[in-house]
Amino acid sequence: MTIRSILIANRGEIAVRIIRAAQALGIRTVQVHSAADRDMLAVRLADQSVEIGPPSAAKSYLNIEAVLKAARETGVDAVHPGYGFLSENAAFAQAVEDAGLIFVGPKAGAISLLGDKVEARKVAKRAGVPTVPGSEGRIDDLQTACAIVEQIGFPVMIKAAAGGGGRGIRIAETMADFERHFPQASAEALAAFGDGGLYVEKVITRARHVEVQILGDGEDAVHCFERECSLQRRRQKVWEEAPSFRLPDHVRQELCASAVALAREVNYRGAGTVEYLYDETSGEFYFIEVNTRIQVEHPVTEMITGIDLVQEMIRVAGGAKLSVRQEDIRVTGHAIECRINAEDPARGFLPGPGTIETLGVPSGDGVRFDTMLYEGYTVPPFYDSLLGKLIVWGETRDACIARLADALDNLEIRGLATTIPLHQALAADPSVASGDVHTRFLEPWLETDFQAFVASKEVA
């Protein structure tokens, strides 16, 4: 079925991104929004908009019936969930299909299977993908969990079987830590995802977070190479790159091939990301999870491959075959994305919504800014603090970092505090420049190097 109209069941910068991709394909767009988002940029850009509830996400963007009602009333063919909110909700995907509409993403069965981290590990093993040592299935009681961690050894990570985004995760260095953290993680997972099931895995010391972008049409699958996402705060990504740096070619080939094997194992449709931990010391990599949606960091992959991932999602959802073959996908240059949030990094990342008084966006070759902002827009306090993403491309990684530093200096957002200073400090840091980072690098760096960077700016 050819998609002629699409409803965007999301908000912010990803809603703007989807609208622009759809309009480039000649597709009519309908934007749903909460009462707090009547003035957001996506509402202005869409062909039509529908208010679906009050500011609370639970009563608007997470309200399946309200979204489907808007879809029925506007006569759309398809629904794109973006990322977050209902994007990895199998019940929502099924409800969209049951309503006679196209869900722009994987089938509900694949979302359900891969969204459960325990089941996803089983799929990975069937596909021959190496997994982090840990529990073979979900664990619902402490006694069983303690027996497992005695076998695999400390430190271990306790993770929610459902959900993601760092929720329900605890690291235990000792058995006493484990016995204390296990019920806390279960309670947090239950509150966040409605499922208190957990699993445990061995912590890989100085691991790097490397993920592979996959595309599938339900029959065939390809990879669009990998991204490096090791710079994280509280397990939330801050800065992403493509391709991964200091990754041996043979590891890259094995990593990407394993992601495709996993995608084919479940007849994957749409865009997705297979995430891994890479142990630079041993050269081994381990599967951790699959994100069955478009990622926040997808633009860096687009910049190095020239593939519009969102357009490809829409095409295959409408029944088309993949427009690219694996042998045609090449990496050109290097790209970095900085997440610009409405937070003050010098004050413990204190969130600070407000009104955009001045917006100055850098331009030029290799510079892209995906955002929901415009001058005079008031950022509401009810949702994620992401304002936009500055994405920069260069022929080499060094050239890319230099271009990024210049772009950050020319990115002006006045009216509220942002994380621009954080990224300026990272772009100037010698460890970042050399690629000597890992998933635990950023938090201690924030306490030392970043504070020194802030102090130097204040003196200047």
C-alpha 322/C-alpha 192 separation (Å) is 35
CB 356 within 8 A of CB 371: no
Catalytically annotated residues: 293
Distance of CA 446 to CAs 21, 172, 345, 419, 443, Å? 36, 22, 9, 12, 5
Token code pair at residue 296: 């926040």
C-alpha 427/C-alpha 328 separation (Å) is 32
CB 165 within 8 A of CB 296: no
Strand partners, 125: none
CB 299 within 8 A of CB 370: yes
- HSE-up (13 A, CA, CB side) for residue 28: 11
| Collapsed DSSP state (helix, strand, coil) of residue 98 | helix
* Closest alpha carbon to 148 in 119, 124, 118, 113: 118
Q: In sequence order, which residues have a C-beta less than 8 Å from that of residue 443 and are 6 or more positions away?
A: 233, 234
